[in-house]
């Protein structure tokens, strides 16, 4: 009986080892099929800076704005926010339009603080990892953002990283409000690819929003969808580090 059990365990171990070998071979084959990556385009929010959309929702609700979540979330933005994120309106114009839209008496500072509440902190370990990538890859940043958030997160980066500046870690940063284009539309991706003369097959795009990833994939870029169960450092499998 004991010999039979031992034999069974031995067979199971052998099968497991063969599966591991097959998986390893398939993974290497997959990596080779992707081609060599030379360029990486990163998203910002949810990738390098942690976000909590509920903090902004709760902040606005405490000010009497009860329909904020219907106007803006990770997957949807009303026209007012789209205009802000593509630089079509200024910070002051946004505050005035927001007050009119929600019909609540708020001053600019209240709106700004509530709007920025979703922005948490940068993870120094991720930035340290980013620094190591710069030795072998051309790195870019492409973020749907706005002038209000930009002022806030650039200062937060300085505070979190002991005086370092976010833009110094990339060949170039592309903010939607500066280029007038935002994800998931194709034009923003094409603008970056053309300006930097990047080979699409050699360019990896990393984002935590699936719609943005799908657009990049449709344009011929290699992609990595960052989800709660995948760490940013997992991308090293694709980079063959």
**Whole-number pLDDT of residue 35:** 60
24, 25, 37, 64, 189 from 205: Cα distances, Å: 24, 24, 10, 39, 10
pTM of the model: 0.83
CB 184 within 8 A of CB 153: no
Task: Give the residue carrying structure tokens 């709660």.
Answer: 228
The per-residue pLDDT for 81 is 94
Q: What is the pLDDT of residue 146?
A: 98
Q: Return d(Cα 31, Cα 235) in angstroms, integer.
A: 11
- 147 DSSP 8-state letter: H
- Tell me what pLDDT residue 108 has: 98
Strands 138-143 and 119-122: unpaired
Per the CB < 8 A criterion, the answer to whether 148 and 94 are in contact is yes
Count of residues in the chain: 241
Element (H, E) at 32: helix 2-34
Instruction: Give pLDDT tens digits along the chain (241 positions).
Output: 544 544 444 444 443 444 333 334 444 444 444 469 999 999 999 999 999 999 999 999 999 999 898 888 767 789 999 999 999 999 999 999 999 999 999 999 999 999 999 999 999 999 999 999 999 999 999 999 999 999 999 999 999 999 999 999 999 999 999 999 999 999 999 999 999 999 999 999 999 999 999 999 999 999 999 999 998 888 888 887 5
Task: Give the separation between CA 95 and CA 107, rounded to whole angstroms.
Answer: 8
Q: How far is the C-alpha of 204 from the C-alpha of 99, rounded, in Å?
A: 40
Contacts of 104 by beta carbon, 8 Å cutoff, 6+ apart: 63, 64, 65
3-class state of residue 7 by DSSP: helix
Tell me, what's the pLDDT at 77? 81
Nearest in space to 178 (alpha carbons), one of 111, 84, 113? 84
Instruction: List own/partner pairs for 153-159 with CB under 8 A and 24 or more apart.
Output: 153/44, 153/49, 153/119, 156/49, 156/119, 156/121, 156/122, 157/49, 157/122
Residue 232 confidence (pLDDT) = 85
């Amino acid at each position: 009986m004991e010999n039979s059990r031992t034999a069974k365990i031995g067979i199971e171990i052998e099968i497991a080892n063969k599966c591991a070998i097959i998986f390893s071979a398939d993974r290497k084959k997959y990596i080779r099929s992707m081609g060599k990556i030379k360029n990486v385009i990163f998203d910002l929010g949810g990738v390098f800076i942690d976000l909590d959309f509920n903090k902004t929702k709760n902040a606005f609700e405490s000010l009497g704005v009860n329909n904020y979540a219907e106007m803006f979330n990770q997957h949807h933005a009303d026209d007012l926010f789209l205009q802000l994120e593509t630089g079509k309106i200024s910070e002051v114009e946004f505050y005035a339009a927001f007050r009119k839209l929600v019909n609540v008496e708020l001053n600019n500072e209240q709106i700004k603080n509530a709007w920025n509440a979703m922005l948490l902190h940068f993870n120094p370990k991720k930035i340290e990892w980013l620094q190591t990538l710069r030795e072998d890859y051309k790195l870019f940043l492409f973020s749907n953002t706005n002038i209000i958030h930009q002022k806030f997160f650039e200062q937060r980066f300085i505070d979190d990283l002991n005086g370092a500046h976010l833009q110094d870690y990339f060949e170039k940063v592309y903010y939607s409000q500066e280029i007038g284009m935002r994800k998931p539309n194709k034009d923003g991706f094409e603008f970056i690819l053309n300006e930097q003369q990047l080979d699409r097959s050699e360019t990896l795009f990393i984002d935590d929003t699936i719609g943005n990833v799908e657009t990049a994939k449709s344009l011929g870029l290699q992609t990595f969808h960052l989800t709660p169960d995948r760490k940013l450092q997992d991308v090293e499998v694709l980079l063959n580090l």
